[in-house]
Amino acid sequence: MDVINPATNEQIDRYEPDTSDDVEATLSRAQTTFQTWRNRSVREREQLLAAAGDILENRIEEYAQLMTTEMGKPITQARAEIEKCARVCEYYATHASAHLQPDGHPSPPGSSVQTVYEPLGPVLAVMPWNFPFWQVFRFAAPYLTAGNVGILKHAENVPGCAEAIAEVFDDAGYPDGAFETLLIEVDQVSDVITDDRIRAVTLTGSGPAGRAVASTAGENLKKTVLELGGSDPFIVLDDADITAAAEAGAWARTLNNGQSCIAAKRFIVHSDIYDVFLDRLRDEMISYTIGDPLDETTDVGPQARNDLCANLHSQVERSVEAGATLEIGGEPLDREGSYYPPTILTDIPVPSPAANEELFGPVAAVFEVKDENEAITTANDTEFGLGASVWTADRDRGQAVGQRIDAGCVYINQLVKSDPRVPFGGIGKSGYGRELAEAGITEFTNRKTLWVE
């Protein structure tokens, strides 16, 4: 596995893929470790997770540098990602015991009925490159603390991040086999899923990857959680604070170089403020510094791979050919690396890629609507349903609009984000199941009824 720095297109490392013997040894260790790990007290597992969080805090710079060189995230955002991983460790180290407490139920006199939460076993996690630490800790912190063991199949362009994460758990004192990583190709994943020792699968990734994993897991009657793509609407109503909405919208579209499932992708703007908002959004996006992601002043770095940059540009070109207007950007930068500038499209026809597909890069598709009802209709005119954002001066109005949006989460006067304290996940082609909060730690448990006479 060759690791290419997307800012320079230079090879920076090479990793040897795991052999079939390596895979067998990993699965065997995971199964053996689970038999004892499941019997450790939740408090012991919380203490180990707290230690993992401390390690992350102490190695922020090391891991941020690694992340940036492997996938191009601006260094300031890479540091913030490591800090967020430490926070999710802190959250579950503090609250796991409460989340896993048995639930009592009404029962006949003299009997006791509870639901208890027991771990399932080895869980396979197929994770993406765009948030190479956060996506992993989002699953590992709750699932391991619930008593499962984890096996990570990370994206092939971030193998260094995968091994660094395994290092965190090793150094925190987790037993051998509690968390391991497999450096394997995509076409080997199906065989791992079908192995009897794997009891559940979680995936964050594309729709095709989700369908493949869900199909294989379903054939083998294994629980899955899928967090897939999104084409999140960013609704700006006529009474919104235009400056605040434009600032937040530009950042929500370009964060992580625009490569986020929950990025603001479709800007749906009331006609009364459309022109002013578009001018403000354009000014914000033009102001961003594009450059070396290791430079502290960089706002937007490269796309993670050349092929991703080329695909994004193809979507923009096809949208313009279909009738969309290019306001800014729209051409890969003439420099080393996979750089695509902040871009705005307006007058977008349906169908076109900007209207119907997920644009995984710093490209904002802006739609004008005449009223609130049209805004809701446009927001829901998608196969995706991950997140949404609504901007209005009237909180009650925002809540009412939010309740009519088909999505896993809606934020009023705030950009969409994943937070350890609240459940996260989507509907439709954005997947199913929930991560984080109490819902996240109980997803991969056996909710066992325990009836005692």
Residues catalogued as catalytic: 227, 261
- In angstroms, the CA 8 to CA 288 distance is 20
Q: 253 near 285, Cβ under 8 Å?
A: yes
The pairing of beta strand 387-391 with beta strand 223-227: unpaired
213 phi/psi in degrees, rounded to 5: -65, -45
Q: Quick one: which of 350, 344, 380 has its CA closest to 249? A: 344
Q: What is the Cβ-side half-sphere exposure of residue 430, based on CA atoms within 13 angstroms? A: 24
Q: 423-436 burial, b for 16+ CB within 10 Å, e for fewer?
A: bbbbebbbbbbbbb
> What count of other Cβ atoms lies within 10 Å of the Cβ of residue 289?
12
- In angstroms, the CA 80 to CA 85 distance is 9
- In angstroms, the CA 137 to CA 370 distance is 42
Q: 257 near 302, Cβ under 8 Å?
A: yes
Distance, first Cα to last Cα, the chain: 58
CA distances (Å), origin 173, targets 44, 50, 63, 410: 11, 11, 19, 38
Q: 146 near 441, Cβ under 8 Å?
A: yes
User: For residue 200, what are the contacts with CB-CB under 8 A and spacing of at least 6?
Assistant: 120, 121, 123, 124, 148, 217, 222, 223, 224, 225, 444
Q: Quick one: which of 233, 129, 206 has its CA closest to 429? A: 206
